[in-house]
Every structure is written in C-alpha cells, then in structure tokens.
Structure 1
Amino acid sequence: MATYAIGDLQGCYNELMQLLEQINFNDQDQLWFAGDLVNRGPGSLQCLRFVKSLGDRAVCVLGNHDLHLLALHNGNGKKANSTLEPILTAPDRDELMHWLQHRPLLHDDKSLGYVMTHAGIPHIWSLKTARNLAAELEAVLQSDRAERFFANMYGNQPDLWQDDLKGPARLRCITNYLTRMRFITTEGRLEFSASGRPEEAPNGFRPWFELPPAKPLKRIQLYGHWAALGHHRNERSISLDTGCVWGNALSALRLDDGQLFSQPCTDHPTPGD
C-alpha cells in the first residue's frame, strides 16, 4: 500500500490515467489530490467522476477552481466556459456537485506527517487555527448557508486576517488564504495580481512558504495552485502543481519515500479560459 499526492488536475484526465499506470496504482493505494480537479483542461467531467468513484481511497481538498464551479452550480459567478459546461449539463450534475461541495479545505494526517491544502497555510496561523478555520468554512458549504456564501465569495478584500472578522468578509478571507495565496507580507497581507515565479514577487511581498510559521506546524505542507512555481521543496513544504494544463506535466509524490513521478502533457498545450 502506498499513498500518492497529486497536483492540480484541471481537467487533465488522460494524463492522470497515464500517471496512474506509471505508478502501478492498485486498489490498495490511496490518492491525495491538492484541489482544482476542474477547469481549463478538456476532461474536467471525467476527472470529477473518476475521483468521486474512488470513494475512501481518495482525499481531495477544494481549490479555487472547484469553488468557482460550485458557485456556478449555485447560480453565482460568470457564465461557464467550454471546459465547465459539460459538468453543468451532465445527467449526474447534482450528484457530482453534492460530492464536491462536501470535500474538505484541509486534510491533516499526523501519522504520515503531512497536511494538505490547495494554496498553503499562512505563517500567521497555527495548524490548530488553520484546521478550525477550514472546518468553519466547510460547515457553511455543507449547510443552507452555502448559497449566500457563494453569492459573496468573489473579491480580494479583506486581504489581511483579523480574528474579529465576521460574516461574508470572514469567510471570503479564509477562502482566499486557503485557495488563492501565493505572495504575502510578513504581517500576513495577501497579494492577488502576481502569479509568476518567486523571484518576481511584488515589492514588499514574499512567497508564503519562505516565511517561517509563528508556531511550528509539525507537519510538511503539501499544496498546489502555483503552476509557475513547479515542483519546489523546502524543509516545511512541497509544491505539487507542475502545470500539466499549461503543457508541462502532471506529478504524483509518493509520501512513503518522497519519490516524485511525472507524466508529460500530451494533448492540450493551449488550455481553455
């Protein structure tokens, strides 16, 4: 039995199948997905159906593209693009969306020593704080308050966490840290316009993973979301998004020994919107 953590699929279904063949994936293994199962790639519907079909053999945290799809399903957000429309018109749409809306924002495995989110955990939060805030947002997503959340989800403000934030602003801020974070200030302020390499950080900002946490997490962080970063490791974190949908590769990290497996993109060098 092995556990593999896989970066952003973004609809790269064919590459996922090839990657699983490469690692000899079997019914004893477990897969962790770092979010963004959908959007831009041609196989978003197939990706959703496959990961859902794995049941307890798969762990998947929500990414910003997954939340965007859920917002569309709930009647918010812009019109669906060509890679999401097949999901929203599928006969099993409601079943898939119910499953997706019940995925966590954070997965913590003390025995393996890893914690996974889509974009990372900011250095201003302890692991306990991150778990509690993720659970707070999950409770809203899985309740009758979800529609109101999606109606207020989009936006860059507030861009700095405060414990006394309330209502939609609080939930939006939690969402943005866990699913959109790349560059951050030492005080914890987020920046949303830049998505390039770490050395391209805007003035006053740094890649979030370079800042030591105020309280050690006692876990190695796994995250995706940052295709321009590619596979990157330091003593506290490992990035998993190797930009398959942009013509690069889809990667799986075997958590048992740290070995990385990659499958080059084969059939969609130009992603959808």
Structure 2
Amino acid sequence: MRQVKFNPDKDVLWSAGDIVNRGPKSLKTLRWFHERRDNIKMVLGNHDLHLLAVAAGARRPSRSDTLRKILAAKDRQTLIDWLLRQPLVYQEHDHTLVHAGIPPQWSVGEAAGFAREVEAALTGPQCLDFLHDMYGNEPIVWSDDLTGTTRLRVITNYLTRMRYCSKKGKLDLVSKGTKPDSQALKSAGINKVSAWFSQPKRKSAHDKILFGHWASLEGRTDTPNAIGLDTGCVWGGHLSLYALETGEWVRCRCKNGRCKD
C-alpha cells in the first residue's frame, strides 16, 4: 500500500478474500479491512466462511486456525456482522472478482446470480443451517435441480474452493498443486481435469476474472483474462497488488506472512 501511495480519498482496494486464517495476525487484518470498509471491495474466501461457521458454533476450530483472538475480541460481533454481508462475486469496471474461480458451464452473470443465493442465506434465517451443511465435496458437479443447502454447498465450492475441474464442471477438490493428483481423480471417478481457467470452452473465457486461492500457481495462468492474485505470501512468496487501470503489478517479498520490502 505504501509502494503505490494508496490514497483513501480516491483509491479503492479490491481483495480476493481469505483475509483471515492465512497469516499470523487475523484479528489485526480483519480490523484493518473493517476500518477501511468505505475503500474496500472484497469477496469471501473459504477461510472467511470457515470463520463465520466457527463463530456461529456450526464448526469447531481446526488446530491450524489463527482465529482465537477474533473469537475473543470485544468487537467480534461487529466484525462478524460486516463479514457476513460481503459478496462471493463482485463485478465492476469490466472485471469480475471471485475467490477461487468460475466453472466452465457458468457465465459471469450466472455465477453472480448463484452467488446471491449464498449471500441471501448468510444474511437470512437459513444462515446457521447453511454453515452447518457448507462442508463437504459432494455433489461434485452442478445441476439446476439441486435444492436447499446442498445447492448452496456446490455454489460455494465452485466460487471459493475450486482449482481443477472437468470440461463439464466436475470438481477435483483434493488436488492443490500445479498438477492434478491422479489418486484424487480416481477416487472421485473423474477421467480428466485441468485448471478451471484453462478449459477452452468455458463461458467466461472472454471475461476478465480476478481470483486468489491458488497459491502454488504464484499468479501464473498463461491467459490474460484470468488474473491470479495469490502469489503465496503466507508460504514465503510475494504479496501482490494489481492495478486495474494499467495492468501493472506491484509485489513485496514475504517471510512468515510479513512483507520484507
């Protein structure tokens, strides 16, 4: 932010989510975002949703979580209420922001519409039921016939957890590296997958999509319309900022989740 001389009078920061649980200071980071909420556009990531589930009592914390200080904070409810109101898809300036990606069978407009179903659940009486049922890899593919929290789970898995999928959108939610895990494919009964953004016939191929989630890519997608923002800061890589107006990248090297430049 200092490198680009961020000016709150005119500048807006977009975030692809996972603002908690991916570094050593989750509470400080969440407060930073909330305090600057008038200058922030963000989408929810899978770790942000995990925090919401833990805070609601729908899920036990994992051993690796860094959420304890948030859950014990005096302003916990203010922060949680703000997070609950954040979208899963954000569109502006001919760009679409999403945490993980958009499956090949959806257009960006369809993805935004399905995202609104999850957003409505998070802010409505269905919230606790959804957070209870949010976890799981099944079903592995979308169907218009899906209903209830099962439907919401599949939407959430596509938008916040997806990396690899088949040309018809069957999800491999196990593989995380730069190559699919053959055992994971066999277990899921899927013959072939590739990165969601490399599917040649995906509906969103001509749309500019900004996404995070996939640190092992280090931002490399080999397609100009899929802009990978996660360059592995938490693993000792870089923290990256992309300027929408110019396409310029600004990066700082990281160690233990902290910038060194």
Give the CA deviation at 1:192: 1.1
The change in CA–CA distance for 1:250 and 1:66 in structure 2 (over 3 A counts) is same
Per the alignment, residue 88 of structure 2 pairs with: 105
The change in CA–CA distance for 1:194 and 1:267 in structure 2 (over 3 A counts) is closer
Deviations 1:90-135 (A, max 9, x none): 11000000000100000011xx211010001111101221111001
Match of 2:36 among 54, 57, 67: 54
Give the CA deviation at 1:219: 2.6
Does 1:215 find its partner at 2:199?
no
Match of 2:236 among 228, 242, 247: 247
Per the alignment, residue 131 of structure 2 pairs with: 150
Give the CA deviation at 1:77: 1.6
Letter in 2 for 1:57: N
Percent sequence identity is 43
Contact in 2 for aligned 1:61/1:103 (Cα 8 Å): yes
Does 1:265 find its partner at 2:254?
yes
Match of 1:127 among 88, 94, 108: 108
Normalising to structure 2: TM-score of the pair? 0.90
Per the alignment, residue 165 of structure 2 pairs with: 184
Give the CA deviation at 1:64: 0.2
Normalising to structure 1: TM-score of the pair? 0.86
Q: Give secondary structure in 2 for the equivalent of 1:251.
A: strand
Give the CA deviation at 1:39: 0.4
Unaligned segments of structure 2, at least 5 residues: 186-190
Contact in 2 for aligned 1:161/1:188 (Cα 8 Å): yes
Give the CA deviation at 1:55: 2.1
Match of 2:53 among 71, 83, 88: 71
The change in CA–CA distance for 1:215 and 1:192 in structure 2 (over 3 A counts) is closer
Question: Highest relative contact order (Cα 8 Å, sep 6+), 1 or 2?
Answer: 1
Contact in 1 for aligned 2:106/2:204 (Cα 8 Å): no
The change in CA–CA distance for 1:213 and 1:66 in structure 2 (over 3 A counts) is farther
Give the CA deviation at 1:166: 0.6
- After the TM superposition, list the runs of 4 or more consecutive aligned residues in structure 1 that deviate by more than 6 angstroms: none
Give the CA deviation at 1:263: 1.2
Aligned pairs, number: 248
